[in-house]
Every structure is written in C-alpha cells, then in structure tokens.
C-alpha cells in the first residue's frame, strides 16, 4: 500500500474508541478542529467493547480505516489496587476484541494507548522505550500494567505476523478537561483540585493528601497528548513504541502547593501515610518523540488553571 494511504487524513473513516473519556474526548476535539468529517463513535451503552460479537458487528458494518483505541478501564492508585481483577479483565478484553477486529477488517492503522506504568517500578530515569520488560512492575498497578503490556505486544505481534501498522504510544500521567474527579477512583491531579476547592468553599483549616508527598510524577495535558497522537498518524509512518510526556517531573508535595495556589486555599497540607505512595518516580525520556518532530506545549500551571476552570464550570452546571 502506498505510504500516503497510511497517513491519517480528514476524509478518512476514523473510529475513536472511548470518545467520552479523558483521552478520547480530547482526540475527538482535536480531529473535529482539524476538519475530520468521517468520525465514528459509540457510547459504551451502544457498543460494549468487552463483548466480541458486538465489536465484530460494529467493524463489519462500519469498516473504519483508522482506529484510535482510547477505550480502557483506568483509575488512580487506589482504584488500581482495589479492583485488580476488573482492571486486568476489562483491558484485556477491550484490546483483544478491537485489535483483532481491526486486523480482520483491514484497518490501515491503529493507535494503541499504553501507560507509563508499564515500565519497571525501579526503572532508570528518565525511562526509555527500551526499558520495557526489564524489571518487576509496581505492585499497586501490576494487573493494569500487564494488560497494557499485552496490548503493546499484541500490536507488535500482529505487525510481525500479518504486516499490519499498529502503533503503541506511552503517555505519562495525564490530566485536563473531562478528567474523573471522584476522590476514590481518580488520579492525583484532579483529586487535589477537588480537595482544595471544596476545602476552600467550606473554610477548612487543612487538606489531607495521600502518601508521603515525596513520589515524583510527570504530568501531561491531555490536549498535548491528542496533538501528539494525531501528529504521529498524520506526519509519520512509525510503528515503534513512542513515549509521550513533557520530560520534566514534580514531587506530589510541590504539585499540591501549586494546586493550592491556583485554587487559592490558605490552609495547611497534611499527609495520610496509611495510603500508598506507589512507584517512587515516573519520568519519561521523550527524545524519540522529539526526534519525530513533536513537543508538548502546555505548561503545568497553565494546564492546572484551565482544568480548574473546567471543573468549576462542571460544578456550576451540576454535572
């Protein structure tokens, strides 16, 4: 097939799986803004990706040319640790059904979203793509990481055996509009926005955050991720694993200080050390992405300000 046919273009039939999630909704906004006019989406009620017969029927009827696989069961450290069976089961089913249906229906390119937690817990930092499967995983999210590693390996295996062009990208910790702000199941950044906001509204003296505050994480705005994904499919033919991050990290304590400032909360920060810290540090090496010509643009403070604004808008609208 000619290379031009493998490049994502605005008239292509593109299926965005998981279009209501943080990543999928950002991908959809990015594609719509780019003039894409044949976008295929289904809610989970309309199409249950854990059911193979439903996935097969959808692909047979709609014949997408490109698939952006952003559907997944995701959550923060506590949800990953508590619902271990759900995280491995649902992610394995979704990946298996979608990747296999894509192959059997001749999809030209598929983009699979992994996660930076696929790298070993004590990986050298910053983590390069070559570090995959070189050490033991972080126990709090091992089932999720194993499922994501299986998805990456499925893409590689289909490429090797069937000559498909499936690309896996490894985003670092994401945040932005459309995130989950539930205090039990969310990731740290939306959880802290909500905790500081509600503490300010109630006039509380302090906010409690989980763990010791010493772990370090890298945070990427989801719109930068969407730009990078579309760029890789529009401008390159790569099928190599690509890390997508900003190349800088921050301690949870400093993140909490930043969010406290953005929200305007005057009280103290306390630490609940009975909650897990998780992996000590997670910083991606983004030199492969940079070499491919792509770089994140949204700074952390700016991104947190925009996300806080979005959160307040949701609160006002009662969502």
Q: What end-to-end distance do the CA atoms of the chain give, in Å?
A: 46
Nearest approach in angstroms of CB 41 to ligand GFB is 24
What is the C-alpha separation between 115 and 149, in angstroms, rounded?
A: 9
Catalytic residue status for 144: yes
| Radius of gyration, CA atoms only, the chain | 19
Residue 204 as a binder of ligand GFB (CB under 6 A): the answer is no
DSSP 206-258: EEEEES-S--EE-EEEHHHHHHHHHHHHHH----S-EEES-S--EEHHHHHHH
Nearest approach in angstroms of CB 226 to ligand GFB is 16
The one among 18, 64, 211, 247 contacting ligand GFB by CB under 6 A: 211
Residue 82 as a binder of ligand GFB (CB under 6 A): the answer is no
Residue 278 as a binder of ligand GFB (CB under 6 A): the answer is yes
For the CA atoms of 16, 18, 24, 27, the dihedral, rounded to the nearest 10 degrees, stands at 0
Nearest approach in angstroms of CB 185 to ligand GFB is 8
Task: Please give the residue whose beta carbon sits closest to ligand GFB in the complex.
Answer: 76
What is the C-alpha separation between 124 and 249, in angstroms, rounded?
A: 14
The first and second tokens of residue 115, run together, are 């996660």
| CA 286 to chain CA mean position, Å | 16
Q: Rank residues 117 and 298 by Cβ distance to ligand GFB and give the closer one.
A: 117
The one among 25, 26, 96, 141 contacting ligand GFB by CB under 6 A: 141
| Residue showing tokens 């009827």 | 61
What is the C-alpha separation between 206 and 191, in angstroms, rounded?
A: 15
Residue 288 as a binder of ligand GFB (CB under 6 A): the answer is no
Phi, psi of 146 (to 5 degrees): -60, -40
Site string for ligand GFB, 106-135 (x = CB under 6 A): ---------x-x------------------
Residue 76 as a binder of ligand GFB (CB under 6 A): the answer is yes
Residue 197 as a binder of ligand GFB (CB under 6 A): the answer is no
Catalytic member of 144, 158, 175, 308: 144
**Which residue stretches of the chain are H helix?**
3-6, 22-33, 52-62, 77-82, 84-104, 142-162, 188-202, 222-235, 252-263, 287-291, 300-316
Nearest approach in angstroms of CB 309 to ligand GFB is 20
Site string for ligand GFB, 247-266 (x = CB under 6 A): -----x--------------
Catalytic residues: 144
Residues that bind ligand GFB (CB under 6 A): 76-77, 80, 115, 117, 140-141, 144, 173, 186-188, 191, 209-211, 215, 217, 252, 275-278
């Amino acid at each position: 097939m000619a290379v031009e046919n493998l490049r994502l273009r605005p008239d292509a039939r593109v299926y965005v799986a998981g279009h209501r999630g943080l990543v999928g909704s950002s991908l959809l906004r990015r594609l719509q803004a780019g003039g894409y006019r044949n976008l295929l989406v289904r809610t989970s009620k309309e199409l249950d990706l854990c059911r193979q017969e439903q996935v097969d029927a959808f692909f047979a009827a709609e014949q997408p040319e490109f698939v952006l696989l952003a559907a997944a069961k995701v959550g923060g450290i506590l949800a990953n640790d508590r619902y271990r069976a759900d995280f491995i089961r649902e992610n394995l089913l979704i990946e298996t059904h979608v990747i296999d249906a894509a192959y059997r229906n001749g999809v030209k390119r598929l983009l699979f979203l992994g996660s930076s937690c696929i790298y070993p817990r004590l990986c050298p930092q910053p983590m390069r793509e070559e570090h995959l499967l070189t050490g033991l995983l972080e126990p709090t999210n091992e089932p999720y990481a194993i499922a994501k590693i299986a998805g990456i390996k499925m893409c590689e295996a289909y490429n090797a055996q069937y000559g498909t062009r499936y690309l896996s990208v490894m985003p670092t910790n994401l945040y932005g509009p459309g995130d989950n702000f539930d205090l039990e199941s969310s990731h740290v950044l939306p959880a802290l926005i909500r905790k500081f906001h509600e503490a300010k509204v109630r006039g509380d003296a302090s906010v409690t955050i989980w763990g010791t505050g010493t772990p370090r994480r890298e945070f990427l705005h989801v719109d930068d991720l969407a730009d990078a994904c579309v760029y890789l499919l529009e401008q390159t033919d790569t099928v190599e694993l690509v890390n997508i991050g900003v190349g800088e990290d921050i301690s949870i304590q400093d993140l909490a200080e930043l969010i406290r400032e953005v929200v305007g909360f005057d009280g103290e920060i306390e630490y609940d050390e009975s909650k897990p810290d998780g992996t000590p540090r997670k910083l991606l090496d983004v030199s492969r992405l940079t070499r491919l010509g792509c770089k994140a643009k949204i700074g952390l403070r700016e991104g947190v300000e925009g996300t806080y604004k979005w959160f307040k808008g949701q609160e006002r609208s009662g969502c």
